[in-house]
Homo-oligomer: A and B are copies of this chain.
Amino acid sequence: MVTAQDVADLAGVSRTTVSYVINGSNLISEPTKKQVMKAVKKLGYHPNLPARALAGGKMGFIGVAVRIDSSTNIVELYPHLSSIIAETESHNSNVILIPGQEGIEGIEKVTRQATIDGLLLFDIGLKDDRLSSIESMNLPCVMVGTTESTTTLPSVDVDYASIVRQQIDDLIRVGSQEIIFVDNKSSDANYYNFAKAFSIDGPRYCTSRGISSSTRYIENRHWQGIESVTSDIQTWKGRKVGIAIRTPAILDLMTASMRFNNLELGKDIPLVAVCADDFAQAQPTPITNIDPLADACSLTAVNILYSMLSGKEQPQLRTLLTPHLQRRKSTASKCYQ
């Protein structure tokens, strides 16, 4: 193993000087810096992370506490993960996955073990017990999501209330007089803000705009539920129903089922989904969508976390991203004609 001492010997300086150079202190003269860097390159030196951490520095790991189980909608999780990994990488540290199922214990464990510098917390609940524990642990932490619990942890989220309003507005624009919200069975409106926005704020907004609405929950990727919705719609044609879908997990099957039932999206019936742009574009009928900006969300969260770690500035307590509707064929023009 190449140590700082080896580098120091080769460069003809002391271990301390090497440490200064590595950590970017500017108390070192340029020539010395160059000397040291040359030796670092030559020997292929990489600081030993455990040693660095033990000596009080940073470990170079950030934890990502996220629930991954069979009900996980991986299509939604993936952009978060990949964006976190990429950004973390560019900060020269690594990602540790902490299974969200373990709750606060899993987080406490890695924290006590001194293995993570900071935490990205997913699956935030409207009431979330973990938050106060984390605060008392003094662990730099950014939430991705929205809570109603009082907390001083900074958070990043997408404005789901706005998303739902945009969906409804666009459906009404093409003539809908009744909205059907379709979501996963696993979305708990009592626990998750996005589910609440969809199942409570959505219908409320419909009422305020003078139209009726109802909500259907579908078991993840299962055909039966989807077909039952579609066949119902079949009989509702006269009622000018518009569809608002919350998750890509069911979108493609839904659109497939529509086709099978000879319902043409954007003509017989309008539909607006919450999903990534490319996913919406790739459907047989391109779907008007609102991209939930998962990557931007996570990217922001990571950067806030790093700004906390570097301790320079006070982080913004709440960052709310507002995504915008992208109109495509499924609401291109007046429907029900």
Contacts and interface: CB of A to CB of B under 8 A. Distances in A.
A112 B59 contact: no
Interface in A267-300: 279, 282-284
A114 B2 contact: no
A310 to B, nearest CB: 20
B97 A282 contact: no
Interface residues of A, number: 56
A224 B253 CA distance: 15
A250 to B, nearest CB: 11
A28 interface: no
Interface hub of A1, A86, A115 (most chain B Cβ within 10 A): A115
A94 B112 contact: no
Interface string A30-60: 0000000000000011111111111000011
A104 interface: no
Nearest to A51: B54
Nearest to A74: B74
A204 interface: no
Contact of A46 (B69, B102, B112, B259): B112
Contact of A50 (B53, B95, B253): B53
A227 B283 CA distance: 11
Interface stretch (A77-85, A151-159, A179-187): A77-85
A315 interface: no
Given A54-B48, A94-B115, A96-B95, A221 B253 contact: no
A260 interface: yes
Contacts of A60: 113, 115
12 contacts: A50-B52, A50-B59, A50-B114, A51-B54, A70-B82, A86-B99, A94-B115, A97-B97, A221-B279, A252-B252, A256-B259, A259-B260
